[in-house]
Chains A and B, each alone.
Chain A
Amino acid sequence: NAGVTQTPKFQVLKTGQSMTLQCAQDMNHNSMYWYRQDPGMGLRLIYYSASEGTTDKGEVPNGYNVSRLNKREFSLRLESAAPSQTSVYFCASSPAGGQNIYEQYFGPGTRLTVT
């Protein structure tokens, strides 16, 4: 049981390059999330997918796109990377919401540097 996996763990891009961050979970969770973590800022929500086939913007969606490929996988794409997107990116998943206090399970993170 691997939980939430992310690839790659580290990446360096030049301004204007594109890339996709991959995330997969093997816990049969409905909801998946992408956060970014910047120094002194905590984690901020980029996009989320409440269920397979749906995606919605979070607090900081500009410059990103997402795809919920199936129930297991949720990818984050940077079409034209900018230095402001230098950050650590976390993917998370959760069984559901509602009246149950389901926690979110986090992947190990991807450190992205844009030069």
Chain B
Amino acid sequence: AQTVTQSQPEMSVQEAETVTLSCTYDTSESDYYLFWYKQPPSRQMILVIRQEAYKQQNATENRFSVNFQKAAKSFSLKISDSQLGDAAMYFCAYRSPPNSGYALNFGKGTSLLVTP
């Protein structure tokens, strides 16, 4: 089974600064997909960004970007110009192969605190 590891239970960043959340994963697949989800206190799961493993270019979505290192099996999330509304739990997720229904394997999450 694929495993996803987020080694930072908590992170803190000042408003307007940049923060990077780490994620590593283990897989024997060559083609796969990776996601970052945000979970604010409302509990709603919100997709932040996605990455296809066959694409060498790192995905970006406005202030959010990833550093995808396929050989190292690393998929970190960078948040630039942090805002108070970015405070949330962030989950890294790996999409499993067809024989597991394309379900998501989640890391344990990183709690991000944003200070004024």
Q: Which residues of A contact B (CB under 8 A)?
A: 31, 33, 35, 40-45, 48-50, 56, 58-59, 88, 90, 92, 94, 96-98, 101-104, 106, 108-109
Contacts and interface: CB of A to CB of B under 8 A. Distances in A.
Nearest to B98: A97
A101 B106 contact: no
Interface in B71-116: 91, 95, 98, 100-109
Contacts of A35: 104, 106
Interface of B: 1, 4, 9, 33, 35, 42-45, 47, 50, 52, 91, 95, 98, 100-109
Contacts of A96: 102
28 contacts: A31-B102, A33-B101, A33-B103, A33-B104, A35-B106, A40-B9, A42-B4, A42-B91, A42-B106, A42-B107, A42-B109, A43-B104, A45-B103, A48-B100, A48-B101, A49-B101, A90-B45, A92-B45, A97-B95, A97-B101, A101-B33, A102-B102, A103-B35, A103-B50, A104-B104, A106-B45, A108-B44, A109-B44
A42 B108 contact: yes
Contacts, number: 62
B104 A45 contact: yes
A106 B106 CA distance: 14
A108 B47 contact: no
A58 B43 contact: no
Nearest to B42: A108
A104 B95 CA distance: 10
Contacts of B105: 45
Nearest to A58: B103
Nearest to A102: B102
Given A42-B91, A43-B91, A101-B50, A109 B43 contact: yes
A43 B102 contact: no
A29 B101 CA distance: 13
A94 B100 CA distance: 14
A14 B29 CA distance: 43
